[in-house]
Amino acid sequence: MPNIISTTNCESCPANAHLAQMGLKLDKFDKVVALAGNPNTGKSTVFNALTGLNQHTGNWPGKTVTRAEGGYEFNGIRYKLVDLPGTYSLLSASQDEEVARNFILFGQPDCTIVITDATALERNLNLALQVMEITDKVVVAINLMDEAQRKGIKVDARSLSRDLGVPAIPIIARTGEGMQTLLSTVGDVISGQIHTKPLRVEGSPEVQRAVSELSKGIEQLYPGMLNARWLAIRLLDGDARVQQAILSGEIASLVSDQQQADVNFSRKMAVEGRQ
């Protein structure tokens, strides 16, 4: 596949922006970026454009869900990109949703890009809001802007960014338009140069107090546990799956399993990539 992202003569590109596909040389990377989104929104198109054909696919550990990883380098920083399964939500017990949720919760990506469809933004933002409940490091990519234009749909990305509290970047993945801005924004969110403040439903003072107390309890139970707030909200919401995962100790092992699986997967890729 040709590299559709122009790295030269691009007036809107940040100065000195440099993009290179890294193929399978993933044994050394600096940052991890996850690609989430509803089905059919262009995740793989973005993934392929950034990583090229030399990507590694396999199955997620213990699942029949395909996992794809690749790498790209942008402005001297090496990013590992993980293409998550397309999902409408992160809350059901389907394999796809569990894989996506567990990676965002426990895989500790440095940033999650939520790819949305500009022609169906309202529906797509549901997932974005769910991801934003788990992590601050989110960039929303508004893809299929060409389709939106064709249908006369106007998207006010600036207002959307302001309302969501995270950057919203219009792109056309098929042509590569907006991709440089997307990548530099991801870099800035990771470095902290762009400060995000994701829109979250805080609830009444009583709910906030309950979330805070329960979060503390979870942190005491699992020292160093990230995303205790998310788990507390799910428990208060009566999420039987999360309740069971905490009671059985599955949550604790998921954290170490996920991290170990990630290391193993990357090593395997690096080895296969050299062959």
Angle between helices 240-247 and 228-236 (to 10 degrees): 120
- CA proximity to 178, closest of 75, 20, 50, 76: 50
Rule CB under 6 A: say whether 45 interacts with ligand GTP.
yes
- CA proximity to 99, closest of 154, 61, 145, 149: 61
Partner whose binding site includes residue 147, from Mg ion, ligand GTP, none (CB under 5 to 8 Å by kind): ligand GTP
Backbone angles phi, psi at 85, to 5 degrees: -65, 145
Rule CB under 6 A: say whether 37 interacts with ligand GTP.
yes
Q: Name the residue whose CB lies closest to ligand GTP.
A: 86
Among 136, 146, 219, 239, binds ligand GTP (CB under 6 A): 146
User: Residue 235's Cα: distance from chain center in Å?
Assistant: 23
Print the binding letters for residues 50-89 with ligand GTP: x by CB under 6 A, - otherwise.
------------------------------------x---
The 8-class DSSP code of residue 112 comes to E
Among 49, 82, 132, 173, binds ligand GTP (CB under 6 A): 173
Q: Name the residue whose CB lies closest to Mg ion.
A: 44
Partner whose binding site includes residue 188, from Mg ion, ligand GTP, none (CB under 5 to 8 Å by kind): none
Q: Tell me how far, at minimum, the Cβ of 172 lies from Mg ion, in Å.
A: 17
Instruction: Tell me the sheet residues that pair with 69.
Output: 56, 82
Residue-level length of the chain: 275
- CA proximity to 36, closest of 117, 115, 118, 139: 115
Stretch that binds ligand GTP, among 170-178, 201-209, 220-228, 247-255 (CB under 6 A): 170-178
Q: Tell me how far, at minimum, the Cβ of 83 lies from ligand GTP, in Å.
A: 7
